[in-house]
Amino acid sequence: MNETKIITNNVNVYYGEKQALHNVSMNMQANEVTALIGPSGCGKSTFIRCLNRMNDVIDTCKVEGTITIDGYDIYSKETSVEKLRERVGMVFQKPNPFPKSIYENVAYGPKIHGIANNKNELDEIVENSLKQAAIFDEVKDRLHEPGTALSGGQQQRLCIARAISVNPDIILMDEPCSALDPIATARIEELMEELKKDYTIVIVTHSMQQAARVSTKTGFFHMGNLVEVDKTEVIFSNPSNKKTQDYITGRFG
Amino acid sequence: MSFVNLNDNNLQKRLSREFRFKVYCIMAMTFALGFVLFLFTSIFSTGYSAFYKTMIPIEISLSSVVSDSNSFALMTNEEINDLSIYSLSKKNIYNLFPNITDRKEKKEILKIFSYEFEDEIKNFLKDNKENINDINIIYLTASDDIDQLHKGNFPRDIPEKRRRLSDLQLSFYDELILENKIETEFNFPFFTRGDSREPELAGIGGALAGSFFTIIVVLILSLPFGLLAAIYLQEFAPQNKFTDFIEININNLAAVPSIVFGLLGLGILLNTFGMPRSTALVGGVTLSLMTLPTIIIATRAALRAVPPSIREAALAVGATRMQAVMHHVVPVAMPGSLTGAIIGIAQALGETAPLLLIGMVAFVVDVPSTPVDPSASLPVQIYLWAESAERGFVEKTSATIMMLLGLLIILNLTAVIIRRKFETKW
C-alpha cells in the first residue's frame, strides 16, 4: 500500500444552515486513483471541493474538521489557497478551457506562478503537459487556435493538461467524463491509468463501472455521509453496508 | 392520406390566424420604419440647404488706402486689422449699382450683405497679402434674407410691409441674378464658427467643441469609475444587505430624470464648489453622474453573463481572485461593457435638460478652446436656434440635428462593431 497522501478527519460542511457533509473521515493514498460514488446531491462533489478549498468561493460555505495533505493542515491560517491549488489541481465536470489559444490555456498556470524563466522553458512545459494529457499529437499544429474550438473530449484533455502544467501532486476530477461520449471517456480513463504513476488522483463519478475500472479505492457517499470506503474490489463484490449493496446493485440512486 | 386533407377546418383556422399575425407584425414594422423615414426626410429636406451659403462677388479697389498695392505684403495681420476701410468698402459696394444715388437707397444695398463685410475684406487681404491688385474680386457673404431668397425659402408674393426684404432689395437681387453675380459655395464656416445673432454667420463650431469637451470629461470620469464599481460589486463584494442597498440605489439612479442631475450640478458644483458656470467641465461632471449608472449596470450584466466555470478554471490553477477576474472574466465581458459605455456616452451627447440648468444654454460667440471656457453643446444649440424667429435658423437647426444624429449613428455603429469584433467565440 502506498503512503497516505490526504487525510480527512471529521469533516463537516455547512451551506448556511444546511449541513452538506457529516463527519467524513477518509484517507487517500499517493499514486492511486480514489473514486467517490453516490447518488446526486450526496455530497461527493462538496467533499472533493474541500480538498483544494474551492468551496471558499461560496460565501455561505463553512468547513469544520481537519484535512491534511502530506501532514499539513490545508485549512490552517498559514495556508495560501493559491499555493494549495498549485499543488492540488482540478478538472471539472464540464470542460472549461479559457476562451484563449490552446497554448495560452496551458501556459497560464506556469505564467502566474512564475514557474518558467523564459519562453523556451514555457514552451517545454506546455509541450510536456499536452503530451502527458495525451493530446499533444492532435493539437501540435494548431497551438495558437482557440481551445474552445476543440471537441468535448479534447477540451477535457486540454483541461487536464492545464491542471498538470503547474506540476501538482494531486489531481481532483469532478465527474470529468459526464459530458463526454464513450470513446472520449475511454481515452480519459486510459489517461488516468498513466497519470496515477505521477499524481494522486481523486475522482468523483456517477458511473459505477468507471469507478470499478479506474480506481484502487472507492468511497460511497449517501445523504452527506461517507457510508463505506474500502478497496474497489471489496466495494463492488462484497460491501459490508446494506446501503452500498443496494446502490451498486441499482436498487436506488 | 390524412395529412394532405386541406379541408380540415381546425387547421385552416390555425393557418389563417398565423397569417393575420404576420400581417399585424409587418404593419407595425412598416409604421415604425415609415415614422423614422418621415422624420429623416423632414429634417434632411429643411436642413441640407444650411450646408450652402450664398455669396456675392464685388470688385474692390483699395488703392486709396495704401500708396501702392504691393505694400500689403509687408503688413502684419494686426496692421491689416487696424486699417480703417469701412467707408471705402461701402463705396465699393455702392459701385455694384452705379445708378442708385439716393442716400437712403444706398443703405438698402448694404443690407443685402452680411454686416461683417468689412471683416471679410480684411480676411481676404490677410490671406492674399502677396497678390493684391488694384482691383480685386472679393466674395462677400449675402445677408440671411438674400440667402434664404436664393435658396427658395423666402415668399416674394406677400405685401412689401410684411416682408423682410423691400421691393428695392428684391430688384437688386433680380439684377444680380441677371448679371450672374449670385453664387453658392459650401458653407465651410458653418462647421468652424461659433454662434451668432446673424443666421448667415452662425456656426456649430462652438457647439461641436463644447460637446467634444463635455464627452471627454464624461469619458474620463464615468468610464474608470463605472468599470471599477461594476467589477467590485459583481466580483468581489460580499452578498449582504449593504450591497443590496447599493445595487437598488444604482438602479434607481439610472431611472432618475435627467433634469434632476442638472439641479444637482447647479446646487453642488456651481453653488457649493463654485465651479465655472456654462462650461464643458461642469456639464461633463453632471452628465457623468447620469452615465455612471448606465455603465455600471451594463458592465455588471456583461460580467454576470461570463460563465462561472471560467472563474473556477482560473482559481483552480492557483490564480488569485483578482487574476481570475482581470485575466479571464473582464476580457470576456469587455465588449458588452464597452457597448453599454458607448450607449451611455451617446445618451450624454444628446442630453439637453441638465445642461440648461448649469448655464450651458448661454449665447457663446467664441469657440471654446478648453473645458473651462463657456460653451454650448449640440443639443443645446438646437434648442437655442429652434427658438429663433429668423428663417435662416430653421435650416441651421435641422442641419445641427443632422450632425447630432450623424454622431449618434457613428457611436452606435462603433458599439456594434466592437461587439462583433471582440466578442468571445465559444
Nearest by CB: B318 against A86, A146, A148: A86
| Whether pLDDT at B369 is above 70 | yes
CB A253 within 8 A of CB A38: yes
The per-residue pLDDT for range B155-177, each reduced to its tens digit, is 888 888 888 888 888 999 999 99
Alpha carbons B308 and A157: distance in angstroms, whole number: 20
What is the number of other CB atoms lying within 10 angstroms of the CB of residue A239?
A: 20
Question: φ and ψ at A138, to 5 degrees?
Answer: -80, -25
pLDDT of residue B286: 94
Q: CB–CB of A112 and B317 under 8 A?
A: yes
Distance from CA of B412 to the nearest CA of A (A): 26
List all residues of chain B from 232 to 271 with a beta carbon under 8 Å from chain A.
Answer: 238-239
Burial (0-12, 13-18, 19+ Cβ within 10 Å), A39: middle
Predicted confidence pLDDT, tens digits, chain A (253 residues): 678 999 999 999 999 899 999 999 999 999 999 999 999 889 999 999 999 999 988 888 999 999 999 999 999 999 999 999 999 999 999 999 999 999 999 999 999 999 888 999 999 999 999 998 889 999 999 999 999 999 989 999 999 999 999 999 999 999 999 888 888 899 899 999 989 999 999 999 988 899 999 999 999 999 999 999 999 999 999 999 999 999 988 877 6
Residues of A in contact with B318 (CB under 8 A): 82-86, 109, 112-113, 166
| Whether pLDDT at B66 is above 80 | no
| Whether pLDDT at B366 is above 60 | yes
Q: Does B313 touch chain A (CB under 8 A)?
A: yes
Of chain B, the percentage scoring pLDDT greater than 70 comes to 97
pLDDT of residue B5: 64
Q: Buried (b) or exposed (e) across A84-120, using 16+ Cβ within 10 A?
A: bbbbbbbbbbbbbbbbbbbbbbbbbbbbbbebbeeee
List all residues of chain A from 197 to 236 with a beta carbon under 8 Å from chain B.
Answer: none
Mutation site, A80, A94, A96, interface B, largest B CB count within 10 A: A96
Residue B77 — very low, low, confident or very high, per pLDDT cuts 50/70/90?
confident
Angle between helices B330-350 and B280-304 (to 10 degrees): 140
Classify the C-alpha dihedral B70-B73-B79-B80 as positive or negative. positive
CB B317 within 8 A of CB B360: no
What is the H or E stretch that residue B383 is in?
helix B378-386
Mean pLDDT of B41-66: 87
pLDDT of residue A1: 65
Residues of A in contact with B238 (CB under 8 A): 59
Mutation site, A85, A98, A100, A155, interface B, largest B CB count within 10 A: A98
The CATH H-level superfamily of B205-422 is MetI-like (1.10.3720.10)
Residue A12 β-bridge partners: A64
Segments of B40-86 assigned E as strands: 52-61
Mean pLDDT of B339-349: 92
**Cell (9 digits) for B92:** 465699393
Q: CB–CB of A108 and B327 under 8 A?
A: yes
| Whether pLDDT at B426 is above 70 | no
**Complex ipTM above 0.90?**
yes
Q: CB–CB of B332 and A99 under 8 A?
A: yes
Distance from CA of A148 to the nearest CA of B (A): 6
Q: Does B19 touch chain A (CB under 8 A)?
A: no
CATH of the domain spanning A4-98+171-248: 3.40.50.300
User: Which one has a higher pLDDT value, A146 or B389?
Assistant: A146
What is the number of other CB atoms lying within 10 angstroms of the CB of residue B139?
A: 14
Cell 495556508 belongs to A79
Residues of A in contact with B315 (CB under 8 A): 54, 57, 85
Nearest by CB: B310 against A83, A89, A98: A98
Residue B73 — very low, low, confident or very high, per pLDDT cuts 50/70/90?
confident
H runs (alpha helix) in B8-49: 9-47
Q: CB–CB of B310 and A89 under 8 A?
A: no
| Whether pLDDT at B1 is above 60 | no
Residue B98 — very low, low, confident or very high, per pLDDT cuts 50/70/90?
confident
CB B120 within 8 A of CB B138: yes
Alpha carbons B298 and B226: distance in angstroms, whole number: 10
CA neighbor of B353 nearest in space, from B261, B219, B250, B426: B261
Q: CB–CB of A82 and B314 under 8 A?
A: no
pLDDT of residue B68: 66
CA neighbor of B335 nearest in space, from B229, B207, B406, B425: B425
Alpha carbons B118 and B134: distance in angstroms, whole number: 18
Nearest by CB: B318 against A82, A92, A148: A82
Mutation site, A108, A125, A160, A164, interface B, largest B CB count within 10 A: A108
| Whether pLDDT at B207 is above 90 | yes
Q: Does B315 touch chain A (CB under 8 A)?
A: yes
Residue A35 β-bridge partners: A203, A218
β A217-222/A225-231 pair status: antiparallel
| Whether pLDDT at B67 is above 70 | no
pLDDT of residue A116: 87
Residue B138 β-bridge partners: B58
Residues of A in contact with B324 (CB under 8 A): none
Nearest by CB: A83 against B318, B323, B332: B318
Q: Which amino acid makes up residue A142?
A: R
| Whether pLDDT at B197 is above 70 | yes
Give CATH 1.10.3720.10 domain extents, chain B.
205-422
Of chain B, the percentage scoring pLDDT greater than 90 comes to 58
Alpha carbons B83 and A43: distance in angstroms, whole number: 95
pLDDT of residue A253: 60
Mutation site, A15, A51, A57, A126, interface B, largest B CB count within 10 A: A57
CA nearest A95 in B: which residue? B309
Q: CB–CB of B319 and A146 under 8 A?
A: no
| Whether pLDDT at B90 is above 90 | no
| Whether pLDDT at B401 is above 70 | yes
The per-residue pLDDT for range B406-425, each reduced to its tens digit, is 999 999 999 899 888 888 76
CA distances to A5, A92, B37, B162 from B42, rounded to whole Å, are 79, 60, 8, 27
pLDDT of residue B8: 76
The per-residue pLDDT for range B13-30, each reduced to its tens digit, is 899 999 999 999 999 999
What is the number of other CB atoms lying within 10 angstroms of the CB of residue B416?
A: 11
